[in-house]
Structure 1
């Protein structure tokens, strides 16, 4: 199928329609969208990887300026390890594995000598820069016909010198003969993906006349990259308070790490809060952005910290605690009934460092809900065009039920199924799903009168009509309409899935 949301005409087996993606779900009536934070101020950050013992490859510190991906059911992590190798202190590429994404092991790979021993978890990298790994962005590309290039790497030696490498297994790496990959520009990279046959690299930099902004480079072979960049997101302009200095003000740190969901790309970026030009007073949360073309990004809820940096730096007693700062990593996974996003503290702490995970119920990063009545009734709503004004003045139109309508979707195969991720459903709070044609007219057999209302909450509730759950005979583009019905109308919609199969991919 193809979701006609303004991005490339990408064919997907399952489309995920998030209500906060206003390109895939552009029409809404009496509904508001919100995001769900992945951290809780009453609970600490959940650590999943920490530094090793004295003499190990990461005994001086670790940072998740790296990647987590799942390959053949196993979670694999590449991260930045700081250690002292016979007097040479540097950042090296280390490796960890997990069966569940929470409990990690550092395997002895036997590939690289460290302190005169190969009993460590360092990968093999034939590069003079093996101790200068300042960014470790790994992409698994199983469709590459060259088996030696199934894993691809971007490493930042410095913002002015970024290099690529290739591997058949993610453990033994060979440098590209065309390094550096950017011949005439700079970047501090933060995210990598393959989308519609091309490779996209995001970061901060690009010489675009702004403070830190999200920029994107493109390539079709992973070695020859564009000189110019697409500017995807800026925060250093009104309505933000303008402050002098390169570190002051609101900015985008390290571009965005990227999660390609087929018809939509989710990104996590660093919300740089510079209270002055002194970075000692900098704080940094992580925010959520959405893109449908891989070049232009928008915040569903501006300035919302999807992962807050609160108390990321533990106070062991005495002394000043640094301002809290986070860095995103290239790590997103749907695991059973949960969604994982990996991150870490940004500031380097001697003999410290760790990787954390934020968890949500599967795909419940954001929601749509009915705009509530003002309470108490004497309060006026923020929405100046709200139907609630009918309580105070004579409004010459009637209300209808709250609803959302998708963009056009072209089905390629018969027999698709629809699923809804929603909460708060009951006999008094229902969701009704119907199919419209491109001109917003109900399709016979799939109209609201044919739909069986959803009354039970769940992460993937199948939609059915009187004729059954399959969508058949739909050769023309369709739209999906979700309506809030019932006496309460207090359901929350998190996602709609249009799938060519009944089963979902666990990614």
Structure 2
């Protein structure tokens, strides 16, 4: 018998988790409000990884989705660009070096000696190799390990808005009046657009010739979400080119990672924002049960426009990836004006959930515009590096009383499991739960007075009524008809407590 067949035969399935940031969960509420949780910056005093080796120049650049956790090798893997002024000052080049690092915990990073590319007379470095294209700007902005692909040479996939010397058979674009900006600047034709790459090991890369989208239509900042098994497609957040440059978010889909739909606009600043802000970067993770959790970087959130160098992430949520709601309209990462990222600038990468922790790595930068040049206050050199912030599982946002107490009632929930668990912080108060039928009538034995008050701070409190957590008497099993049914409502009454999610 398979494990799933045992669920079918018992009528008890794995629990589903419902986040309170999804307003479809709530039918009514009184005296409570949804509050986005602040992430804890683990790297306030020093970056998790910064430029230290000669080939890394002055800065590490990582603005999209180039860091993942490998479940097979049990480590974080990071592909990053090295910003070296010695390269940037070469009029024949617009290129960066790309390097690779690993970490067991996200804080202690190792630079493996790959032996692939010579630098300073030695190959003892962590620089990666591109087999059919020269050094490039952004091919590895987004990297994913795809264990579903039967072709081992395509185990790792990359996509980014790249610039490289144009190869035979490639095409490029010109300015609106036909001028070739790249040729005028560099004396050669440049391929500029969204390009795809493949690698068997994540270290030696082959670029697929021909762009997936023209750089005349797509601006920098395309961020890969990944493969969403729920819809059977690859999902990517793109930035349609708007001149003069204005940054918004659009959605693009693909069946095969190589052919992408033209992006559909989904997200832009609105009338509540201060003038001049833009959406600089967008990172996302799939929410449990349904939808996407997003971190949108608001550039210029404190005023002064896009170049004001105040870039911090806000929390947002969508059930379908197309219609988004911003939660709280405020950053969820502290500006930390006295830290190394005192721009303040922190652009998040895709969140990674490991056990009970949420890892949010970010690209941090100090007050300055051009790497290697003096900062705006003249006290330092402009640099960027990798930072790390953390949160607790499913605690993106919570319902909290506006004053002392409040309550909310859910819509009908289809109960899969035989217990109710809540992710809640009641360390300074209490939380009680009442079960209602579809007509809002309390279920005998599961009323508010029957509920054992929940106290303390836990990610998975088991809710009990008179000491018992078993819901089977009212929801039934595969072999016994339910007394009430599987469609129930929950009434949560909280006093100085926060409710983040519930599972059932």
TM range (shorter): 0.7 to 0.9
Quote the Cα distance in structure 1 between the aligned partners of 2:198 and 2:440. 48
The answer for the alignment partner of 2:180 in structure 1 is none
The farther-off stretch of 32-41 and 187-196 is: 32-41
Change over 3 Å in CA distance of 1:107–1:468 after alignment to 2: same
The answer for the alignment partner of 1:232 in structure 2 is 266
Displacement of 1:129 after TM fit? 5.1
The answer for the alignment partner of 1:420 in structure 2 is 422
What's the secondary structure of 1:298's corresponding residue? strand
What's the secondary structure of 1:194's corresponding residue? strand
Instruction: Note if 1:198 corresponds to 2:217.
Output: no
Displacement of 1:481 after TM fit? 2.1
Instruction: Note if 1:338 corresponds to 2:357.
Output: yes
Instruction: Note if 1:175 corresponds to 2:186.
Output: no
The answer for the alignment partner of 1:90 in structure 2 is 95
Q: 1:354 aligns with which of 366, 369, 385?
A: 385
Displacement of 1:430 after TM fit? 2.4
Change over 3 Å in CA distance of 1:179–1:434 after alignment to 2: farther
Aligned residue pairs, count: 432
What's the secondary structure of 1:163's corresponding residue? strand
Q: Which runs of 5+ in 1 are unaligned?
A: 1-11, 243-248, 316-321, 374-400, 499-507
Quote the Cα distance in structure 2 between the aligned partners of 1:152 and 1:407. 41
Quote the Cα distance in structure 2 between the aligned partners of 1:276 and 1:127. 43
Show the 5 A alignment for 1:59-458: 59-65=57-63, 66-72=65-71, 73-83=74-84, 90-128=95-133, 130-133=135-138, 136-157=141-162, 161-177=193-209, 179-181=211-213, 185-187=217-219, 188-195=221-228, 196=230, 197-207=232-242, 211-227=246-262, 229-235=263-269, 237-240=270-273, 242=275, 249-254=276-281, 256-262=282-288, 263-273=290-300, 275=303, 279=307, 281-302=308-329, 304-311=330-337, 314=340, 323-330=343-350, 332-346=351-365, 347-350=369-372, 352-372=383-403, 402-410=406-414, 415-425=417-427, 429-436=429-436, 440=440, 442=442, 448=448, 451-458=451-458
Q: 1:478 aligns with which of 464, 487, 491?
A: 487
Change over 3 Å in CA distance of 1:157–1:139 after alignment to 2: same
The answer for the alignment partner of 2:20 in structure 1 is 19
Quote the Cα distance in structure 2 between the aligned partners of 1:470 and 1:171. 51
What's the secondary structure of 2:421's corresponding residue? strand
Change over 3 Å in CA distance of 1:448–1:265 after alignment to 2: same
Change over 3 Å in CA distance of 1:125–1:32 after alignment to 2: same
Quote the Cα distance in structure 2 between the aligned partners of 1:95 and 1:60. 16
Instruction: Note if 1:493 corresponds to 2:499.
Output: yes
The answer for the alignment partner of 1:28 in structure 2 is 29
Quote the Cα distance in structure 2 between the aligned partners of 1:480 and 1:445. 15
How big is the alpha-carbon RMSD for the aligned residues of Structure 1 and Structure 2?
3.6
CA deviation profile, 1:76-109 (whole Å, cap 9, x unmatched):
1122223458976732332111111111111112
Quote the Cα distance in structure 2 between the aligned partners of 1:494 and 1:432. 14
Displacement of 1:333 after TM fit? 2.4
Quote the Cα distance in structure 2 between the aligned partners of 1:438 and 1:81. 59
Change over 3 Å in CA distance of 1:26–1:216 after alignment to 2: farther
TM-score by length of 1: 0.74
What's the secondary structure of 1:50's corresponding residue? coil
Is contact 1:150–1:169 with CA below 8 Å preserved after alignment? Answer: yes
Quote the Cα distance in structure 2 between the aligned partners of 1:81 and 1:259. 27
Quote the Cα distance in structure 2 between the aligned partners of 1:329 and 1:480. 36
Quote the Cα distance in structure 1 between the aligned partners of 2:113 and 2:439. 60
